[in-house]
Amino acid sequence: MVDDTIRIEGVGKYFGAEPNLVKALDNVSVNIRRNEFFTLLGPSGCGKTTLLRLIAGFESPSFGTILLDNKDITTLPPYQRSVNTVFQSYALFPHLTVAQNISFGLEMLNKPKHEINQTVDEMLALVHMEELKDRRTNQISGGQQQRVALARALAPKPDVLLLDEPLSALDYKLRRGMQIELKRLQLETGITFIFVTHDQEEALTMSDRIAVMNEGHILQVGSPDEIYNDPQERFVADFIGESNFVEVDIVGKASGASSSGSIRFANSKKSYPVKIPANKKNDKKALVFIRPEHARLDGKTRGATLTGTLANKLFFGTDTNYHIDLDDGSQFVVRAQNTLEGGFSPAVGDKLGIFVDENALKVLKD
Amino acid sequence: MSRTLSALEQEQIRRKTRANWLLSTPALLLLLFAASGPLIIVVIYSFLSSGNYGGVVWEFSTDAWFNVLYTKDIFDDTVSLSDAHLSIFWRSVQLSFLTTVLCLFFGFPTAYFIATRPPSTRNVWLFLITIPFWTNLLIRTFAILELIRNQGVINNSLMSLGLIQEPIRMLYTDFAILVGMAYVYLPLMVLPIYASMERFDFRFVEAGYDLYASRIKVLRRIIIPIIKPGIIAGSILVFVPSLGAYVTPRVLGGGKRLMVGNLIELQFGQGKNWPLGAALAVTMLVIVMVALIFYVRLVQKSERNHG
Amino acid sequence: MSATALIAEIKKGAISPVDVMEASIARIEAVDPAVNAMVTHDFDAALSAAKAAEAKHHKGESIGLLAGLPVAIKDLEATAGMRTTYGSIPFRDHIPEQDDLSVAQVKAAGGIVIGKTNTPEFGTGGNTWNDVFGVTGNPYDPTKTCAGSSGGSAVALATGMVPLASGSDFGGSLRTPAGFCGIIGYRPSPGLVPDVDKANALAPFAVLGPMARHVADAVLLLNAQMSVDNRDPFSPNTLRLLPDPMKAASLDSIKVAVSDDLGVAPVADEIKQVFSSRMGILSSAFQSFEWQDPDFTDVHDCFEILRGVSYVAGMKDLVDQHRDHISPLIIDNVERALSYNLADVAMAHQTQSILARKWLALFDQVDVVICPAASVSPFPHAQRYIDQIDGQVMPTYMRWLALCYAPTMVMACSLVVPCGVDDHGMPFGIQLLGPPGGDQRLLEIGLAIEAELAKHDATKAPLPDLAKLIASKKS
């Protein structure tokens, strides 16, 4: 049996009243396992921060239950939950020093003095802030503040650490450094991290599992690999990484419970065997999604999955993105790795064939 | 990292300094003449002799200062400490302190309430808070009197409800003065605390809850320390004018419970003894400054202790 | 009906002076047994004088300023052919041959003296009671005093016996009764109503003045009483009558100073409360409204001594002659006065000069000073005077009148206007104070304030319950 720290059961949060009712969260259920790095990913307004605030206890749900270690904490105030938060703005106490900020939670828990001092020293070492412990929090840099915020939230050794877009205020390089540091801290402390971000790259690099959210719902929960390679819905596919969506005809369907079937691209006679989602079984048309790096370009168009004209080339260092105007007028992006040999290098305006393997084709639920 | 500044940089700094001085000149002149001028006149007056019909006679005298603390018996010329003056000073400090505490007690929640309203309605609340300022002080004082007098609103309601048989005597007591002054000076406490509170980031409160601090601890350990500048400013703004108040203590105290302000007003307003009035005013100024230094010290100390 | 309205009706011919006189006599006969205010009267003479006035009016001759209205005269003013006792046993049957100047003035203006109103012996004391006629009761509660010394006049006005009455004032004798009975009393500047018989004519303290139920009526009677007579050194050289009708001042141009105790007077807390509360109602009507206690430092000693001087001057011979028949209060006054020495008197004059100058200077800043008319609520007349206020013992029997005698010392003119009732349902009056010589301005302000007070239930002039009053006597 999987060991869950947090269980969210049918939780919803509505703001306001009809006719201006806002459903920030609508009937969400998800289980978060012990010691995992769990990420809530989605665009702003998707409900991820609301969910985090419900877990922290800053808001109470309109309905549903939240359990921490099988204990119902739905109605407990934040200060009675073994859950700590790293705030997006850090919310470091401006009237206290770095060390005083870190010891605050421990003092509130009435820990003995020597234990507090010891934990504060440990935490300062953990985030490499020993030198600055007597500084005021407005006298240190953003990255340092970030680390103090982490140390402050970790010091009481909570069961769960909530992180609300903690890296969004940092510049790119610092952010990369902190991503690695966060992962290290999570492994070292063995605390369950629930991380909220709208940055898919951050989510993919750090998480054990990701929940993709939109409009108050969790659309898909899975490992970064599952989420990236096997998105169930167009929104997930579109939100994470770059994607091409092409409408296809469903030409063959297996009967009964089997999900196998086949599809065919417009203006193409070739059919590809694919898995058809259950809700698409009776449809004639479907949407397939293809990652840009899973397609290949060639000067020849014969036997190609799709054909089109090269409209633009964007050089990214390791890769180049080729933007192709398909014959039906839609756009398609192919990403190819750059090699020193140079290799195939088409010019803008060339007529090109796009080749896709059948296992790179995913039929989406919608 | 130290280095010598280039000539150009030095010139720029010089120019900036000069510009700063130029810009602040009007303010400095105003301060010099409008603030120090009258103060110097008051100090000089306190060392002159009293004129018969008010005013001063330009003759050096320390009588006024002598009279602040001592009285000389008219009949046998024995000198004794002026109990009347000392007790008035003491009463004034006490009442002003209590007024400040009372204003803080009511002003803080009020400011908190306003600061936690949506921004659009905050201005309405602030406007409501400042309305009393628009009314003549005496009329405001009469309004308080109307509430607490023997046949006033409070006593009449309590009696008609049968809760009391005899009216509670509230008017012409220290309590009445306290209520009156707290009412009059409450906005001076609310506004600076509100100003601090408005800038206060309420995420600190969430952070406090998150770190296991209960409501009271969040108030004591987070909100109050952070908005302390507003509390200090409000306390000063209430304490200082309370000490000099004279209309409110006169009307609500019934003329029997004088404060320093009344005493000074008597010397000047009725033209009795200007030098004594001046000496009393300077004494009050010294008390205010000592009280402020003491207060700021106390606050700083508590800050160090709590850290 | 006000005196001014009655005169207008008489001049129109709508009513006759005889009607007014008959109504007045009827009222006196009905009410006076309950209050004992009109101690001497001559209804037949009054009625025939009214008939004469009526006849004169029919012939188209002038019937004077007062148009044959009945006027009550305080029993301290000599009336030719009518008993004038001064409230004193030795004068029990005294019938003067000549009118005092003020009475002659009233008669000359067409006023008809209907009778004499009660007063304490020689006007001494703030409670109208004497051994000749007994006590005069307050029309709002006959067991309580109507104050004094013009108590009989005040009661006669409050109960509607007469539209106009005369009074006199040293330390509040016109003003305290007006306050206690809910009517108008006006203490004019010295000399305005010449007093030609004062023993120490140079002391500006004792004055004669009008009492009425309306400010306009007081102006009317004052105009009648005023004259020029060089036997009173304060009398002006030329007679300047007040405008009639007088125009009320506009309140929003008036700067007011209020004080509940003038800084020195002992005043009962309950009176201060009522006063402040009433001022709160009135406050917004004025241009400016500030609290200011005028300087009356040492006014008590100053008053005691200078009043003593007047007493010795006016009464010493009398006390020496009729010691057995004179109230111990008067004897005590004279003897205490004789204990002061010259230095005391000099100091009192000095103090008075300083205070009077400061009083004048005050009116550079304000137009009128307002304070209560009396320091206590009307008290049972069995109690001769107020010996303590809220537990504070009064050092002299006059001290409770300090609200009135302090302004006397600075020669203020003073108008008492009724302002609702106090916590005991007894009339409450306020005193409007002006500088000496500022009579016209003060009366103009008084007219305006009287009109303003009439707008609010809490401040309008009270009326006694006459039916109850009459019944109280019968039962």
Instruction: Give A332 or B296, the one with higher predicted confidence.
Output: A332
For residue C168, the model assigns a pLDDT of 94
Distance from CA of A57 to the nearest CA of B (A): 8
Query: What pLDDT, on a 0 to 100 scale, did the predictor assign at position A72?
Result: 93
Q: C314-321: long-range contacts at Cβ-Cβ below 8 A with a sequence spacing of 24 or more?
A: C314/C198, C314/C199, C314/C200, C315/C122, C318/C90, C321/C90
- CA distances C140 to B75, C5, C36, C424, Å, are 48, 25, 13, 10
pLDDT computed for residue B68 by the predictor = 82
Same domain assignment for residues B141 and B257: yes
* Domain shared by B103 and B188, yes or no: yes
Interface test with C, best of B134, B147, B257, B270 (most C CBs within 10 A): B270
The answer on B269 and B186 residing in a single domain is yes
Residues of chain A with pLDDT under 70: 1-2, 254-258, 342
To the question of pTM greater than 0.90 for the whole model, the response is no
Contact B212 A156 (CB under 8 A): yes
Instruction: Kindly report, residue by residue over B156-187, the tens digit of the pLDDT.
Output: 899 999 888 888 888 888 899 999 999 999 99
Secondary structure string (H, E, C) spanning C332-348: HHHHHHHCCCHHHHHHH
Residue B120 placed within a domain: yes
Residues B89 and B152 in one domain: yes
Residue C172 has φ and ψ, to the nearest 5°, of 120, 10
Question: Which contiguous run of DSSP H or E holds residue A344?
Answer: none
State the residue for tokens 């302390």: B228
Decide if B149 and C283 are in contact by the 8 Å CB cutoff.
Answer: no
- CB-based burial of residue A114 (10 Å sphere; 0-12 exposed, 13-18 middle, 19+ buried)? exposed
Quote the strand ranges of C170-275, DSSP E: 184-187, 207-212, 255-258
- Structural domain containing residue B21: 1-36
CA nearest to A134 within chain B? B307
A37: closest CA of chain B, how far (Å)? 20
CB pair distance less than 8 Å for B53 and C283: no
Tell me the HSE value of C63 on the side-chain side, using a 13 A CA sphere. Answer: 27
Q: How far is CA A251 from the centre of its chain?
A: 34
Identify whether residues B86 and B29 lie together within a single domain: no
pLDDT tens digit sequence for B116-159: 899 889 999 999 988 888 888 888 899 899 899 888 889 989 99
* Cβ pair B307:A89 closer than 8 A: no
| C139-160 per-residue burial string, b: 16 or more CB within 10 A, e: under 16 | bbbbebbbbbbbbbbbbbbbbb
In degrees, rounded to 5, the angle at the alpha carbon of residue A233 between the alpha carbons of residues A231 and A236 is 60
Of B212, B228, B307, the CB nearest to A108: B212
Is C468 designated active site?
A: no
Q: In this structure, are B147 and B251 located in the same domain? A: yes
Residue B104 lies in a domain: yes
Residue at B100 is within a domain: yes
What total of structural domains would you count in chain C? 1
* In a domain? residue B57: no
Identify the domain containing residue C131 by its residue range.
Answer: 3-474
Burial zone of C344 (CB within 10 Å; 0-12 exposed, 13-18 middle, 19+ buried): middle
Q: What DSSP letter does each residue of C379-409 carry, written as one string?
A: -BTTS-S--EETTEEPSSTTGGGHHHHHHHH
Task: Enumerate chain A positions whose Cβ falls within 8 A of a Cβ in B.
Answer: 56-58, 77-80, 83-85, 87, 89, 91-97, 100, 104-105, 108-109, 152-153, 156
The count of structural domains within chain B is 2
pLDDT of residue B36: 84
| Residue C250, pLDDT score | 95
Domains and CATH numbers, chain A: 4-238 (3.40.50.300), 242-363 (2.40.50.140)
Q: Work out how many CB contacts closer than 8 A connect A with B.
A: 66
Q: Which amino acid, C46? A: A
Q: Are C397 and C442 in contact (CB under 8 A)?
A: no
Q: What is the mean pLDDT of residues C291-298?
A: 89
Instruction: Say which CATH number the domain at C207 has.
Output: 3.90.1300.10
Q: Do both B32 and B90 map to the same domain?
A: no
Cα dist. B51→B70, B113, B282 in Å? Answer: 20, 53, 19
Yes or no, beta carbons of C354 and B52 under 8 Å apart: yes
CA distance A121 to A133: 9
ipTM: 0.82
| Average pLDDT of span B38-55 | 83
Interval B172-230: pLDDT, tens: 888 999 999 999 999 999 999 999 998 888 889 999 999 999 999 999 999 999 998 89
Residue tagged 């003045």 (tokens): C209
User: What average pLDDT does range B48-74 have in this prediction?
Assistant: 78
Q: Is residue B269 included in any domain, yes or no?
A: yes
Does the residue B291 lie in any domain?
yes
pLDDT of residue C316: 84
- Residue C149 catalytic? yes
Question: Tell me: the pLDDT tens digits for C243-272?
Answer: 988 999 999 999 999 999 998 999 999 999
SS (H, E, C) A140-152: CCHHHHHHHHHHH
Kindly write down the DSSP assignment for every residue of A32-79, as one continuous string. EETT-EEEEE--TTSSHHHHHHHHHTSS--SEEEEEETTEE-TT--GG
Decide: A248 and A288 in contact? Cβ < 8 Å: yes
Which is higher by pLDDT, A327 or C143? C143
Q: Does B295 map to a domain?
A: yes
Domain co-membership, B232 together with B117: yes
All residues of chain B having their beta carbon less than 8 Å from the beta carbon of residue C295 are 270-272
Q: Is B52 contained in some domain?
A: no
pLDDT bin (cut points 50, 70, 90) of residue B274 is confident
Q: Are A76 and A57 in contact (CB under 8 A)?
A: yes
Residues C417-454 pLDDT 10s: 999 999 999 999 999 999 999 999 999 999 999 999 99
Pair (B98, B181) in one structural domain = yes
Q: Flag if B203 and A79 touch (Cβ within 8 Å).
A: no
What pLDDT shows up at residue C197? 82
Sign of CA dihedral A285, A291, A295, A297: positive
Q: Which chains are within 8 Å of A by 3+ CB pairs?
A: B
Strand C164-169: give its sheet, edge to edge.
Answer: C38-41, C112-117, C70-74, C164-169, C207-212, C184-187, C413-421, C427-434, C368-372, C255-258, C288-291
Check if C287 contacts B (Cβ < 8 Å): no
The answer, yes or no, to whether residue B74 has pLDDT greater than 80, is no
- The helices-and-strands tally (H runs, E runs) of chain A is 8, 20
Q: Is B156 on the interface with C (CB under 8 A)?
A: no
Q: Which of C269, C284, C298, C370 to mutate to test the interface with B (most CBs of B within 10 A)?
A: C269
Interval C338-392: pLDDT, tens: 999 999 999 999 999 989 998 998 999 999 999 999 999 999 988 888 999 988 9
Cis status of the peptide bond prior to B120, with omega within 30 of 0: no
List all residues 6 or more positions away from C71 whose beta carbon is below 8 Å from its beta carbon. Answer: C106, C111, C112, C113, C114, C162, C164, C165, C166, C221
Q: Which of B196, B203, B210, B223 to mutate to test the interface with A (most CBs of A within 10 A)?
A: B210
Q: Is there a single domain that holds both residue B16 and residue B156?
A: no
Give the chain B residue whose CA is nearest to the CA of C353.
B53
Backbone φ and ψ of C228, nearest 5° = -110, 125
Say whether both B123 and B225 belong to one domain: yes
pLDDT band at B1 (very low <50, low <70, confident <90, very high): very low
If you average pLDDT over every residue of chain B, what do you get?
85
Cβ count near B180 (within 10 Å): 28
Size of the B and C interface in Cβ pairs below 8 Å: 73
Q: Are B21 and B96 members of one domain? A: no
Chain B residues with CB under 8 Å of C297 CB are 270, 272
Q: How confident is the model at residue B307 (pLDDT cuts 50, 70, 90)?
A: very low
Q: For position B301, what pLDDT does the model report?
A: 66
Q: Which CATH number does the domain housing residue B149 bear?
A: 1.10.3720.10
Identify whether C74 is a catalytic site residue.
Answer: yes
Provide the CA B296 distance to its chain's centre, in angstroms.
Answer: 15
Residue A258 has a pLDDT of 66
